[in-house]
Structure 1
Amino acid sequence: MAERDRRWNLARAFMRREGLDALLVFGEHEDAGPAPFAYDTWFTNGRAGTTVLFHRDADPVALFPMEMFTKDHLESARRGDIIWIPPENIRASRDSRAIAEALNESALAQATIGVVGLEVYPPWHPEGIVPYRLWNTILQEFPSVRFEPVAMALSRLIMPLSPEEIAVVRHSASIGDDMVRAMVDTAAAGVSESEVYAAGMAAGYMRGTIPAAMHFWSGPDPLASGLPQWGYRPQSPRILQDGDTISAEVFSNFGGRHTQHQATITIGEPHEDLHRAAEVARAAYDACLQVLRPGRTFGEAVDALREPLRDAGGWEFGPCLHALNPMIALSGFAADASRRLAGARAYPPEADHPTLSGDLALEPGMTFALEPNYVFGRHLAYLGGTVIVGADEPIELNPYTAQILRAAEMPR
Structure 2
Amino acid sequence: MTMYSVAERDRRWALACELMDAENLHALLAYGVPGAVAGPDDYLSGGPSGAIVLFPRHGRPLALTDRPTAWIQDSRPDRCAYALAAALKEHHLSRSAIGVLGLEPYPPAHDGHLLPYTLWAALLELMPQTAFVPVWPQFVQRAMPQSTEEIKALTEGAGISSAMAAALLAAAPAEAYAAAMHAAHLRGAIPEVQLTRRGSVLLAELTCWYGYRETCRTLTLPAPDPRRHPDLAREHYQSALRALRPGSRFGQAYDTAHAGLPGNAHARLRGLNPRSLHAEAGQTIGYDMLITPGMTFALDVTCDLPHGEAVTYGGTALVTAHETISLT
Q: Judge same fold: TM > 0.5, yes or no.
A: yes
Instruction: Give ranges in structure 2 of 5+ residues lacking alignment.
Output: 1-5
Match for residue 228 of structure 1?
Answer: none
Aligned length: 322
| 1:394 corresponds to 2:320 | no
In structure 1, the residue matched to 2:195 is 216
Q: Who is 1:306 aligned against?
A: 258
Report the secondary structure of 2:99's partner residue. strand
Name the CA shift for 1:173/1:127 in 2 (closer, same or farther; >3 Å). closer
Query: Residues of 2 paired with 1:134 and 1:256: CA distance?
Result: 26
| CA displacement at 1:128 relative to structure 2 | 6.8
What is residue 176 of structure 2 aligned with on the other side? 196
- Within 5 Å, which residues of 2 pair with 1:10-409? 10-31=15-36, 38-64=39-65, 66=66, 69-70=67-68, 83-86=70-73, 89-125=74-110, 129-187=114-172, 191-192=173-174, 195-211=175-191, 213-218=192-197, 221-222=198-199, 244-266=200-222, 269=225, 272=228, 275=229, 278-279=231-232, 281-309=233-261, 312-314=262-264, 316=266, 320-333=268-281, 354-377=283-306, 378-398=308-328
Structure 1, unaligned runs of 5 or more? 74-82, 223-243, 334-352, 399-412
- TM-superposition CA deviations, 1:274-303 (whole Å, max 9, x none): x26x51x33431222222121222122212
> Which has the larger displacement, 8-17 or 299-308?
299-308
The separation in 2 between residues aligned to 1:395 and 1:51, in whole angstroms, is 35
The Cα offsets for residues 333-388 of structure 1, whole Å up to 9 and x where unpaired, read as 0xxxxxxxxxxxxxxxxxxx511112111111000011111213311221110110
Q: What do residues 16-41 of structure 1 show as CA deviations (whole Å, max 9, x unaligned)?
A: 11100001110123246xxx6x1000
- The code of the aligned residue for 2:244 comes to L
8 A contact 1:262–1:385 mirrored in 2: yes
Give the residue type in structure 2 aligned to 1:129.
L
Which one has the largest radius of gyration? 1
Identity %: 37
| Equivalent-residue separation in structure 1 for 2:242 and 2:249 (angstroms) | 12
Equivalent-residue separation in structure 2 for 1:214 and 1:99 (angstroms)? 36
Distance 2:79 2:241 in 1: 43
Partner of 1:229: none
CA drift at 1:157: 1.1
Question: Are the equivalent residues in 1 in contact too, given 2:237–2:300 (CA < 8 A)?
Answer: yes
Provide the rounded CA distance (Å) in 2 between the counterparts of 1:9 and 1:127: 25
- Measured in 2, the distance between the counterparts of 1:301 and 1:45 equals 32
Q: Which amino acid aligns with 2:208?
A: S
Q: Secondary structure of 1:355's partner?
A: strand
Q: Secondary structure at the match of 1:372?
A: strand
Q: d(CA) in 2 for partners of 1:271 and 1:139? A: 63
SS at match of 1:373: strand
Deviation at 1:255, TM superposition (A): 0.5
